[in-house]
Structure 1
């Protein structure tokens, strides 16, 4: 029997604490509120408290979904996929903890996967495989990230960009958008251009090698390092190719696309890509002003915002790209 897979519901959760551009400028007076907003496209971002983790956000996103969609029952969930790069523990899997905290049945499969900005696309692909393979009927895909824990307090560049958030999506045998075909890719040769080098098995102990460059920006193996120029080079070269391949894989042209939702990296990069690929303004969705770059949660957050504002219809092209390097694209065919 052939199955189809659909996105059935999407919910999001944000930590209570926010950091505004005004607050950042008070710490970095050489910047201005306008400069941050114009270049990055972010006015404020949500940040977890010290004792708040990605698992906490994941649970909150799940609870939001069950509250928002009362017809979706906990006992109907038969698989959990949790995408995070900031798990609570090396073991057990965070998805196992989430299963128990959400009160889901024990006949529910669950596993974590470690991906960043392409994570939602990969999650949709795995969920579709589980549905079409007859392994599951209702998959709960959760993204939860707390990059703020990886940022040095003096890292003004990354602190303006990243925010913490989570999302919960039901992929099922019915829903409002059929999931089309995927294009996925990996180039691990770029791994060191976006990395936290210490803390895991390769280098378990802190390096304590903090130094500052000529512009006063911190550099340390113990915090997130992003080579902005290399990431931009990777993105501007690869994303147009991903879009072309995704359209071809789904038998579409760019004119057939009603809405484009990219990973919400930063405003400058998104506008650069939009112009390079020649996507019209009215078919390109940006939603990061109040949340920032939320890594694997950025696409579902944008999807939810597009749905709420009645922008989500027809053929919607999704594209995620970033840390790894890793990338993915797919088409959602919105049917109602």
Structure 2
């Protein structure tokens, strides 16, 4: 699917990460030092940020949103749309966005809803917000994208534990008749659903015991099925097959070439995969952002996190054209080509001390 959104501008990015750091280069409980260094060279992750309980992805996103509203000097009452993009909802119901609306002090006239997408979620959420702003009376929107993926992992899973970290983000959009168009490409292939998969927790395989108390066998099954299953070989194959064409198609759709793009910001999935993608499309390393070393794969937050961590001063000398892309769980993918600026400096912050968890 292709789309063009007119008259909407991205006004700001802010990302928030937990204070707690973990590195297998220092902790040799699961890997030897030699194994950890080989892993770092392959996946590009030296350390991750881990969110402690009782906090959730929503808490990081709320902290990011509060900071971004201050940066923009926006009255919360002026925000007409809130989209919470996450695979880590606080509750089965209500939608987490409704709880966030109240916490942020947005008006009751605001539309607020959840989008349960992961790796492609930032692209989808930003496109949805831009489209809704362009086709309604709304003037301002917040897209909050974040996940606490590390909580899905088994403590003995050597394939996933070194890769995933936690982060939240906020992106602000505003109606502006003078804004250049935003070009989007989105797609889905459900044949890959089983390759990045948490089976238990939904209504089809509900975490409710069939008998009281739970049997030992049921405990074991639910423990296994409630953790992330990731087929690395299939993910790698999908990525190299689908992402280079996605990036090329996005540029063609926007009528630009690599020379016109100031920075490509892909989902931070795995450094080796991203290097392969960059080479396949012939992108200059200086214009292809790989930023996993300090945070790992942060799912829906990875694109805005990379922008906030590495591009804080990037827009200081004028607008820049970015190609931002997400891809993975689903299979699902999305790419945006947007000219960004003038804009407040993208900012990365840690979760503040004493931050109250989001509650109904």
TM-score past 0.5 threshold? yes
CA shift at 1:306, angstroms? 3.9
Partner of 1:259: 263
Give the match's secondary structure for 1:157: coil
1:12-91 equivalences under 5 Å are 12-29=15-32, 32-67=35-70, 69-91=71-93
Superposed displacement of residue 293, structure 1: 0.7
Q: Pick one of 212, 232, 235 that aligns with 1:231.
A: 235
Measured against aligned partners, the alpha-carbon deviations of 1:223-264 in whole angstroms (never above 9, x if no partner) come to 100000101111100011111211111111222222111000
Q: Mind listing any 5+ residue stretches in structure 2 that lack a counterpart?
A: 209-217, 343-360
Tell me whether 1:138 sits opposite 2:152 in the alignment.
no
Relative contact order, higher structure (CA 8 A, sep 6+): 2
Question: Which residue of the partner structure matches residue 119 of structure 2?
Answer: 117
What is the correspondence of 1:1-336 to structure 2 with a 5 Å cutoff?
A: 4-29=7-32, 32-67=35-70, 69-174=71-176, 178=180, 180-205=182-207, 208-209=219-220, 220-310=224-314, 313-336=319-342
Aligned residues: 326
Contact 1:183–1:246 (CA under 8 A) maintained in structure 2: yes
In 2: Cα distance, 1:287 partner to 1:19 partner: 17
TM-score between the two structures when normalised by the length of structure 1? 0.91
| Residues 10 and 340 in structure 2, CA contact (< 8 A), matched pair in contact too | no
Q: CA deviation at 1:34?
A: 1.8
What is the CA–CA distance in structure 2 between the aligned matches of 1:52 and 1:143, rounded to whole Å?
15
Distance in 1 of aligned mates of 2:149 and 2:204: 20
**Unaligned regions of 5+ residues in structure 1, if any?**
211-218
> What is the aligned partner in structure 2 of residue 215 from structure 1?
none
* Aligned Cα root-mean-square deviation (Å): 2.2
